[in-house]
Chain A
Amino acid sequence: MNLSPDALDRALTELAERADLDESVDRVPAIHHRARRAATVRLASVAGALAAVAAVVAITLGAGGLPFTRADSVPAKPAPKPFLTVGLESQEELAAGLSDRGLGTPVVVQITFHGLVPQMYNDAGELATGTDNLLSLQMYWDPRGWDGRGSSEYHCVRGAPLVKMDNEFLMTTYAFRAGTHPITLRATACDPVGEVSEKLSLTVR
C-alpha cells in the first residue's frame, strides 16, 4: 500500500479518532470564560482610546477654548507617538481544566500586546499584520529555554506609518516542579519603540 489519496484519507480519519480519547471534559465553561476575557480586553482598548481623545480635547480647551470658535488658533493635531506595552497574566482557571499527561503541572499564561508600532514590510513589499509587526518575540521559561522567534521575515522601513497592535494569546507549558517559576516576555518593535519586556513569577503548588 502506498500514500494514495484513499489511503491518506483513511489514515487521517483513524488518526483523528485519537482525539476521542480526550472528550471527557465539559469545555463550555472555559469557552465562556475566554469570551468574557476577550470582551473585557476589547472594552479596555476602547476605554483607553476614549480617554486619549478626552485628554486631547481637554488640552485643546485648556489651551484656548473651543477650536471651532477660534479658527485662527486651532492647534495642529498632535502626532500619535509610537509605543508598545506587553502584559503577562496567569490563567489558573484555564490551567485547572488541563490534565497533567505526565508532563508536569499545566500552566496557562495570557499574553497581551497593546501599542502603536511602525508598520513592517517583507521583501515583496507586503504588509505585516498583528504581531508580525515585531522584530522579535521571545518568551523565556526559566530555566528551560525560550519559545518564539529571534528574527522576522519582515523588516523596518524608515518613516513607515504607525499601526495599532492589540493582540492577546494564551500559551501553555508544564512545570516540572513545585515552586516559583520566573517567566519573561521580550518583544522588539522597530525604532523608536525598541525592546519592551514583562516578567511574571508563577507559583506552582
Chain B
Amino acid sequence: MSVSPAESDFDSYVRASGPRLKRLSFLLTGDLDTAEDLLQSAYAKVLPRWAKVGDYDNPDAYMRRVMVSIRTSWWRRLRGREVLTADFPRGGVAGRDLAVDVGELDYLLTGLRALPRRQQVAVVLRHYCDLSEAETATVMGISVGGVKSQTSKGLAALRVGHAPSPTIEEPSR
C-alpha cells in the first residue's frame, strides 16, 4: 500500500511528538498502558484531519485538545484498566520534598489519579503544560472561572490528601 505525502508527514509528526505527548498522556491517565491508549486514540482522531492540522503552527495544541476531550468524555464513564486506589496518601503531599524523592512522586501520582477528571486535567494543563487560565479554558471547553475553580479544588485535594471516592466499582485483581 502506498503512503501519501500527507500520511508520511503525519507519521513523522507522530514519531517526533510521541514522547512529549506521551508524558502529558501519562499525567492525564496515571498509568503507561492507558496513556498509550489515550495517545493512540487522539492520533487516530487527528489523522483524517491531518491535511489541515499539519499546517497549524502548533499541532501539539490541537492534539492536547483532542486528548483532553477524549479523557473527559468517555473515559470518565468507562475505565477499563484504571485502578482508582483506595489508598490515597493520608496527610497529602504537602510538606514533602516532591522534587527529590521518588516515593513522593508516587504519592503525587496516586493523588492525581484520585482527582475527578476535570480537576486532574486543570491541574496538569496549568502546572505541567504551563498553559494560562484562558488557554486551559479553551482546551477544556469551559469558562476561565471554571478553570480557576477546578484547579483550586484539585490543588486543595492534593494538599490535604483527600479526594472523592471512586464511583465505579473496580474489578478485583
Contact = CB atoms under 8 A, between A and B. Distances in A.
B37 A16 contact: no
Contacts of B23: 16-17, 19-20
Residues of B in contact with A, size category: 35 or more
Interface residues of A, number: 57
B159 A171 contact: no
A12 B104 CA distance: 11
B52 interface: no
A28 B44 CA distance: 10
A149 to B, nearest CB: 6
A169 B130 contact: no
B168 A23 contact: no
A131 B33 contact: no
Nearest to A23: B19
Contacts of A10: 98-99
B9 to A, nearest CB: 12
A144 B95 CA distance: 39
Contact of B22 (A2, A22, A132, A174): A22
Contact of A3 (B32, B98, B167): B98
Interface stretch (A31-39, A62-70, A74-82): A31-39
A3 B48 contact: no
Given A3-B158, A12-B124, A19-B32, 18 more contacts: A3-B98, A5-B127, A7-B98, A13-B128, A14-B105, A15-B108, A15-B109, A19-B22, A19-B23, A22-B32, A25-B36, A26-B15, A27-B40, A27-B43, A31-B44, A101-B32, A144-B173, A145-B170
B81 A11 contact: no
A130 interface: yes
